[in-house]
Amino acid sequence: MAAVTGARLLAVTALLTACGERDRIVVGAKNFTESDLLAELVAQQIERRAGLRVERRLHLGGTFVCHAAIVAGQIDVYVEYTGTAFTAVLKHPPVADRDSVYRAVAAEYAARYGLVWGRPLGFNNTFAIVVRRADAERYGLRRVADLARVAPRWRAGFGYEFLERADGFAGLARVYGLRFAAPPTAMDLGLTYRALADGKVDVIAGNSTDGTIEALDLVALEDDRRYFPPYEAAPVVRRAVVERHPAVRAALDELAGRISDAEMRRLNALADVTHRDIAEIAREWLAAHLP
C-alpha cells in the first residue's frame, strides 16, 4: 500500500518538475555591472509580461563564457552587443555601419547557433579608452591617436577579455600605433578603474556607458580612427525558447529603443556609484517606463 502511494508521489513530482523545467527561463549576464542590470531588467520584464518563472545567473563570466553557455542551452537569454558578437565571437574584422553589423550577426547567429537576436535596446556601449582628467589636460589628450605621444612613458591596464579579443588591445595598438613601455598589466576587469584612479596604470579600456567615468574624474578619448565597431546592446535568445513561448519575444520587443546612452549611464551610476540594489533599480525603471 505504501509502495503504491510512494510510486504515485514520485510520478507526480517528476511530472511537476518536468513542467517546471519547460516553463522556466534562465537569464545570464556577463561579469560587469551593466550586464547584470540589463539581465535583471530582462528577467523582470519576462516575469511580468510573459508570466514565466525566471532564474538569474548573473555575473557568469565574460563574453565567451556566456556564449558557450547559451549555445549549450545552460542559459536561455542574455544581452549581447552587436560589435562583440561580430568581431569576438564570429571573428570578422570590424565594420563601422551599425545596421550591417546587426543584420550580419542576426543572420549568422540564427544559422550557426539557432539563436535569435531581439531588437536593440537603444544605446551603443563601445569601449572607452579612459585616462585621468589631469593627464588629459596636461598632455592635451582628446582622441585615442593623441595617446601615441605619451604611450612610451605610460603603463596600460586591461581586463583579461580585452587583452584576448580580436577587437581588443592588439588591434587597438596596431591601428593607433601605440607602443607602451611594457606589456599591459592584466587584472580583473572590475579593478581597472581603481587602478587608474590610484595611479597604478595610466590608461584603461572601460565601457562608454560606465557610471564611474565621471565619478572618478576620468575622461574617455574619442575613437577618431573608428577602430571599434558599433556595440548595440540587444537580447539574444535560444530559438527553442522563442518558439515555445512567443510571449517572451513580445516582452523583449517592448524594451526596444527604450534606453539611451545617457539613460544607461545613469542606471550604471546608480549601481556603481550610489551602490543601490540592482533588482530595485530594474523594478523602478520598469515601473516608470513600462507600467
Residues 6+ apart with CB under 8 A from 192: 157, 158, 159, 201, 204, 205, 206
Among residues 189, 187, 196, the alpha carbon closest in space to that of 63 is found at 189
Tell me how far, at minimum, the Cβ of 61 lies from another protein, in Å.
7
Q: How far is the CB of 62 from another protein (least distance, A)?
A: 4
Quick check: helix, strand or coil at residue 171? helix
Give min distance, CB of 168 to another protein, in A.
10
Q: Hey, what amino acid is at 258?
A: R
* Nearer Cβ to another protein (43/88): 88
At its nearest, how many Å lie between another protein and the CB of residue 245?
A: 28
Comparison of 65 and 104: residue with beta carbon closer to another protein: 65
> At closest approach, how far in Å is the CB of 27 from another protein?
20
CA distance 162 to 188: 11
- Taking the least distance from each CB to another protein, the nearer of 100 and 185 is 185
Sites of contact with another protein (CB under 8 A) = 61-62, 64-65, 67-68, 157, 159-161, 163-165, 183, 185-188, 191, 194-195, 198, 200-201
What radius of gyration, in Å, describes the C-alpha atoms of the chain?
21
Of 68 and 262, the one with the shorter C-beta distance to another protein is 68
Identity of the residue, 52 or 69, whose beta carbon is nearer to another protein in the bound complex: 69
